[in-house]
Structure 1
């Protein structure tokens, strides 16, 4: 039997683990119990179990403390110090506060975080690919699909590391026992090589429609959450748009970032062809999604009677929260209930006559996010010539015409006359929260039902994340019934916005506007052309490439708000050094009166060091094990 040497010299921690009970020295890298590989591929059933273990290596992207894009930036803020009852890991909150380090990195997915090792996941993919011919009872069509799944997962693990760490080693095969010490000490590969490798793997996984991954899942009872051809092509589109973006395309900040042998890891020369490839990848993914019947979600109320405004709000919320809805391209189902903790973190106390301590309400959007969304006219609040931007922090009284606000209430001008996504995504003092069991009124001044009553279970900013809470959540005095949904790793709205961005960069504004306007229409807004022409102080902004780029980027930040996308988008656009160096504000939540509560207070002065903070540090221990590795710049 062939015995494999583990490539995980990348990581001291990973070197000690082959099977859970293995303990090995630096060079003793032959797996214990090698016969277990034969056992794992003895038949179809055992091989399928091994495939599922690879899926189990995927990060929990639906958990707010294990998804690196959620609490590490400026979308959310949390009270500090946090009660031990209200968190699983402090790592993301610490990163947001500038406490990342290279000795013991936070959210260290290079070695292991949340018991997830990306390198171990890659190794398992390689083991399956190298042993897939062993089970004699495996049907050829099943083998073809499992090979495609393993290639997709191997690509995704590489992609996950690439987005966090930049240029990474490529582990295409597990090294044989005969490999020399020098071969085991792998090096980081240039950005373009990594991108090309991942892209090729995804192409092989996707196949041509007749081979590779299936277009859709047909066995809904047993296979939901497994990858499909549209998922592979959509992740490829995300990869190539990222590779074409300023962080990786013509970035001179990393021109001196080199391996120990002097080979460059970044190409500082801008390449327009990267955008051409990204555009083609987006179109191919959209075509595959159309073939599979994937479409933008639209809310169907069924037996419940709702008005048009509520339908639009539920178009937005349920595109994320409705299980296996028509828009989902790939959903993460880790641990069976992947978004239950997320919803408990996000949802405030909705009942006025009792408190349920399971609802934390601590996943608090920042004031920066409240200012991001458009006015009701579909343009930014500082561009709308009919909206009072100057007096946005002044109190106003609501009337019956303010349908998204409680009547005869007071709140700041910032909360009036905003677009539907603002009211669908966020809740605040004076807003409403529609659920399956009825309409709830959010009143969050001190001692009010959704306000701060104690040292925990509250929003530090005064805002709540409505978008991520399934409308079927039911709260009683003794229990909270949560309908968990698969975390949307990729949905069609995301893909449409990637396509719009790539199309604009390849001088095709008509296509960019077409796909962006599909998103806007679902959100109850007029087209970009109509909104800017009639309401913007710069009515021709959308007619230039630079102007349309700004519009597309803000549209994307709005459409993808609170879904773990903003952090990565700001990085790939090279805007993080500007945006993540701005202060974090909230309302004066410990106050009881309208006037006192609605005062803007500084919560934190956030800092982002460029270029250091564009990539995660690698733990220093790795360089003792492998001196051929180089640390990311600034660390």
Structure 2
């Protein structure tokens, strides 16, 4: 069930309670585009509306764009803002850099304003007000998690500061930001319920707050805290894998037991544009904006549980996508797949179809298309979708737990259980279990690959390759796509024309602080190399 009344309330209050955001004044004091305090913050319903509005600052399809700045996906549109980051052609003036900074601080500012004013509401239901405070704390921590991951040291602002104060901000050391995120999520979990009634589905729960705490500590390299938080989620006993991976990103599976946190949408009222964004060019107005790469496809094992480079894997170069981990086909449109319109996907350059590589810049330049969130129900109106975007799910919790334990060298049976549950705990994914004789180094490689294939196009890869310090290895070079049989019978691999990615390890592991902000706040230092 969709949270219809909550989503509608987003639209009612967004213009009044949220920063509409002059570029120059992201962190300034209460703006005059908010509702008057003489009229608002009076009733319990005011508090609810204000809390609801905070969810509009959660990420949605921009998660997919983050993967398109890594090795597993490619920004198909040459002038899309992600393309410049993907190619290493960005700096402190780039719109993508400023856009992510501005969006996150917009969310921070809204949460700060909420927390400073919600106690003005007159109500006898203190438990509800505390719940709303827990939501605001968790959502504020969500934004700082992202800011720290992208920029490192960032201003840690927890109050609605004055304009003058905002001009004297300095960057807080990242360790202190992670401390704040960890405590904020811990405090939030103590204020939030484990579950909600159906009408409130989509609100952040205790499990979501603890799950975000697990993610934050993993990103911070605080492995014991990450393992402990993931274990807390597991012991809540209310989450599990959705029975079908193939259906996980469909309307039928919304609000299933695997989802800890999502961004909820409703057709017509509060829509999202996933079908047009991701679908193959032949599907009405679909744009193939972000497309998978050969690097990702090659990470999926064969059904024998072996990499395609293993001579005993059963891999057939002439039929490269047969007998592979089912998640390959569940996550990616592959040659021969049926499409929502009823036609067959034929992206080979010599196929003569609308989807053929090279037919138009809108057709996938790799010959792969993302399948997650592209649902046949949306074909009739491809710009008006209502699918929820998953921000955190139980499979990630299992992989956080496994990775943290591996890094701690705590190689007990629970590590294998967590990994193997992801590999074969669904009715339609049955990859062979990992052997109990695997070493720490082998398990590290396995869990990193599992994160890539299980969580593809869910916005985690960018942060993974940065924290593992492998971006300098996996990003540089050409982008490759499908392997197909050319007219002369030779097996040929698509190479994306005029794309050669670069990654400068001396500066690209952190984004630059946006120049717009530094022009207004000279006390903000810059990251090395920028």
CA contact (8 A) 1:473 1:481 kept: no
SS of aligned partner of 2:310: coil
Matching of residue 560 in structure 1 with residue 508 in structure 2: no
Q: For 1:81 and 1:175, how far apart are their aligned partners in 2?
A: 40
Q: Which deviates more, 328-337 or 366-375? A: 328-337
CA displacement at 1:146 relative to structure 2: 0.8
CA displacement at 1:384 relative to structure 2: 5.2
CA contact (8 A) 2:29 2:162 kept: no
Q: Are the structure 2 counterparts of residues 100 and 138 from structure 1 closer, same or farther at C-alpha, using a change threshold of 3 Å?
A: farther
Q: Are the structure 2 counterparts of residues 498 and 433 from structure 1 closer, same or farther at C-alpha, using a change threshold of 3 Å?
A: farther
CA contact (8 A) 2:26 2:105 kept: no
User: 2:3 maps to which residue?
Assistant: none
User: 2:235 maps to which residue?
Assistant: 287
Matching of residue 466 in structure 1 with residue 452 in structure 2: no
For each residue in 1:238-265, what CA deviation from the matched residue of structure 2 results, as whole angstroms up to 9, or x when unmatched? Answer: 0001111xxxxxxxxxxxxxxxxxxxxx
Q: For 2:24 and 2:500, how far apart are their aligned partners in 1?
A: 45
User: 1:136 maps to which residue?
Assistant: 122
Q: Are the structure 2 counterparts of residues 428 and 121 from structure 1 closer, same or farther at C-alpha, using a change threshold of 3 Å?
A: closer
Match of 1:214 among 193, 211, 216: 193
Q: For 1:135 and 1:79, how far apart are their aligned partners in 2?
A: 49
For each residue in 1:381-404, what CA deviation from the matched residue of structure 2 results, as whole angstroms up to 9, or x when unmatched? Answer: 22353435xx73xxxxxxxxxxxx
Q: For 2:218 and 2:175, how far apart are their aligned partners in 1?
A: 13
For each residue in 1:360-382, what CA deviation from the matched residue of structure 2 results, as whole angstroms up to 9, or x when unmatched? Answer: 34532111111111111112222
Q: Which has the larger radius of gyration?
A: 1
CA contact (8 A) 1:347 1:361 kept: yes
Q: For 1:213 and 1:327, how far apart are their aligned partners in 2?
A: 19
Matching of residue 230 in structure 1 with residue 211 in structure 2: no
User: 1:98 maps to which residue?
Assistant: 88
CA displacement at 1:234 relative to structure 2: 0.3
User: 1:319 maps to which residue?
Assistant: 248
Matching of residue 582 in structure 1 with residue 487 in structure 2: no
Matching of residue 72 in structure 1 with residue 69 in structure 2: yes
Matching of residue 201 in structure 1 with residue 187 in structure 2: no
Q: For 1:316 and 1:30, how far apart are their aligned partners in 2?
A: 45
Q: For 2:396 and 2:241, how far apart are their aligned partners in 1?
A: 10
CA displacement at 1:110 relative to structure 2: 5.6
User: 2:277 maps to which residue?
Assistant: 345
Q: For 2:195 and 2:25, how far apart are their aligned partners in 1?
A: 45
Equivalence map 1:10-25=2 (5 Å): none
Match of 1:328 among 218, 243, 259: 259
CA contact (8 A) 2:333 2:369 kept: yes
CA displacement at 1:81 relative to structure 2: 3.8
Q: For 1:586 and 1:578, how far apart are their aligned partners in 2?
A: 19
CA displacement at 1:456 relative to structure 2: 4.4
Equivalence map 1:163-562=2 (5 Å): 163-175=149-161, 185-207=168-190, 212-218=191-197, 220-221=198-199, 223-244=200-221, 274-288=222-236, 290=237, 293-298=238-243, 315-321=244-250, 322-333=253-264, 340-348=272-280, 356-383=283-310, 385-387=312-314, 392=317, 412-429=318-335, 431-433=336-338, 441-445=344-348, 446-448=351-353, 450-451=355-356, 454-470=359-375, 472-473=376-377, 475=379, 479-480=381-382, 484-509=386-411, 510-521=413-424, 522=426, 523-529=429-435, 542=438, 544-562=439-457
SS of aligned partner of 2:37: helix
Q: For 2:298 and 2:419, how far apart are their aligned partners in 1?
A: 20
SS of aligned partner of 1:121: helix
The structure with higher relative contact order (CA 8 Å, sep 6+) is 2
For each residue in 1:186-235, what CA deviation from the matched residue of structure 2 results, as whole angstroms up to 9, or x when unmatched? Answer: 2212222111111101011100xxxx1110121x23x2221000000000
Structure 1 stretches of 4+ with a deviation exceeding 6 A read: 21-28, 335-339
CA contact (8 A) 2:28 2:161 kept: no
Q: For 1:125 and 1:486, how far apart are their aligned partners in 2?
A: 23
Q: For 1:25 and 1:68, how far apart are their aligned partners in 2?
A: 26
CA displacement at 1:47 relative to structure 2: 2.4
Q: How many residues align?
A: 504
Q: For 1:287 and 1:49, how far apart are their aligned partners in 2?
A: 32
CA contact (8 A) 1:43 1:138 kept: no
Q: For 1:128 and 1:452, how far apart are their aligned partners in 2?
A: 49
Q: Are the structure 2 counterparts of residues 55 and 601 from structure 1 closer, same or farther at C-alpha, using a change threshold of 3 Å?
A: closer
SS of aligned partner of 1:527: coil
Structure 1: which 5+ runs fail to align?
Answer: 1-16, 83-89, 245-273, 299-314, 350-354, 393-411, 531-539
Q: Are the structure 2 counterparts of residues 414 and 203 from structure 1 closer, same or farther at C-alpha, using a change threshold of 3 Å?
A: same
CA contact (8 A) 1:426 1:464 kept: yes
CA contact (8 A) 2:66 2:462 kept: yes
Structure 2: which 5+ runs fail to align?
Answer: 1-16
SS of aligned partner of 2:273: helix
